[in-house]
Amino acid sequence: MAEKKIVNTPDAAPPGGPYSHAVVAGDFVYLAGATPHRTDGSVIEGPFLEQARATFDNLATVAAAAGADLSEAVQARVYLRDLADFQAMNGVFAEYFGDKAPVRTTIQADLPGFDIEVDAVLYHPAS
């Protein structure tokens, strides 16, 4: 079995609990849920689109810290506080994934103080 590598980066918001930003296991990178938090842990309390872009920026930052990028995503899960933001989220999702979009599940969730959270699995073959 391939060894797993824990990835944490000061360039993204600190984890909100006892978990890692990402885990690399074999050819896969598992990204923990990214949220619209700054690196100091404070929440971006702007409009939904600002929160969504900050969330995807954080996700991309963690992917880069793991040596990967979002173009390698094979699965994403999006958690929205309000499903009325679904179309706006689709637009931002397309900005970050374009024509290499992964499979996705979108779930309404009772998020604690922010409007969106996104996690992903990346396929990043070892060189």
Domain at 4-123, CATH from 3.30.1330.40, 3.30.1330.30, 3.90.950.20, 2.40.220.10: 3.30.1330.40
Residue-level pLDDT, tens digit, the chain, 127 residues: 568 999 999 999 999 899 999 999 999 999 999 999 999 999 998 899 999 999 999 999 999 999 999 999 999 999 999 999 999 999 999 999 988 899 999 999 999 999 999 999 999 997 5
User: What ranges do the domains of the chain cover?
Assistant: 4-123
- This prediction has a pTM of 0.94
Q: Which residues does 51 contact at the CB level (< 8 Å), separation at least 6?
A: 36, 44, 114, 115, 116
